[in-house]
């Protein structure tokens, strides 16, 4: 939990990368429920194109990576670590950044449904070279695949919720009475139910 954010977004991004050693290290505890991962890719609320990442990754002095930039709408807010998209010299890559990484600021943001997301500010966050999860050769493709899986999973979840709400409402219309009649017999409510 949350299924879409962890299993359909972060897990698919981790599984699609070309760093098999890091995949093995992350996927086993994730599947066991001992690790919560979040995909941090979006930078602007009105942009859904993963290729427009402005966050950058440069080689650090110690041979690792230094990440700069900002990500918004990152869920779950309680994640143990983040799959962060960033642009390096050769293209878009994905990096594993642990929650406690020095230089990363996590700002909670309240969502419309009452849950929380995070805003990540990466200020020269240094990570080891083996934390590059997906190289530029596959980075964009992996991120796009994860977003497609996330969209399908979110659509299925929302469809299930809508179906349950309709069934529950129809049941209520048949049991609740007003003026000694089930309210489902009132034409205006029948029209709303059909709509």
Does 149 have pLDDT greater than 80?
A: yes
| pLDDT tens digits, one per residue of 37-76 | 999 999 988 887 887 889 999 998 878 999 999 999 999 9
- The whole model's pTM is what? 0.86
| pLDDT tens digits, one per residue of 164-174 | 999 999 999 99
- What is the reported pLDDT for 49? 84
* DSSP-derived secondary structure for 160-181: HHHHHHHHHHHHHHHH-EETTE
- What is the reported pLDDT for 53? 87
b vs e for 39-69, b when ≥16 Cβ sit within 10 Å of the residue's Cβ? Answer: bbbbbeeeeeebeebebebeebeeebbbbbb
- What is the reported pLDDT for 170? 93
Average pLDDT, the chain: 93
| pLDDT tens digits, one per residue of 85-107 | 999 999 999 999 999 999 999 99
DSSP class of residue 46 equals: T
User: Where residue 113 falls among pLDDT bands split at 50, 70, 90?
Assistant: confident
Q: Alpha-carbon distance 183 to 169, whole Å? A: 11
Q: Alpha-carbon distance 103 to 67, whole Å? A: 9
> Phi-psi region for residue 128, left (φ > 0), alpha (ψ -120 to 50) or beta?
beta
């Amino acid at each position: 939990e949350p299924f879409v954010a962890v299993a359909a977004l972060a897990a698919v991004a981790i599984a699609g990368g070309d760093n098999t050693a890091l995949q093995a290290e992350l996927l086993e505890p994730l599947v066991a429920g001992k690790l919560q991962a979040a995909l941090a890719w979006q930078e602007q609320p009105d942009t859904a194109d993963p290729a427009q990442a402005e966050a950058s990754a440069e080689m650090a002095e110690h041979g690792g990576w230094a990440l700069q930039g900002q990500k918004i709408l990152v869920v779950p807010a309680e994640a143990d670590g983040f799959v962060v998209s960033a642009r390096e010299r050769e293209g878009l890559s994905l990096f594993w950044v642990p929650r406690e990484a020095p230089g990363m600021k996590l700002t909670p943001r309240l969502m419309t449904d009452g849950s929380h997301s995070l805003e990540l500010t990466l200020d020269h966050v240094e990570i080891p070279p083996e934390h590059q999860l997906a190289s530029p050769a596959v980075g964009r493709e992996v991120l796009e695949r994860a977003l497609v899986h996330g969209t399908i999973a979110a659509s299925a979840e929302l469809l299930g919720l809508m179906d349950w709400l309709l069934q529950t409402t129809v049941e209520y219309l048949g049991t609740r009475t007003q003026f000694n009649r089930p309210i489902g017999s009132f034409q205006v409510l029948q029209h709303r139910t059909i709509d």
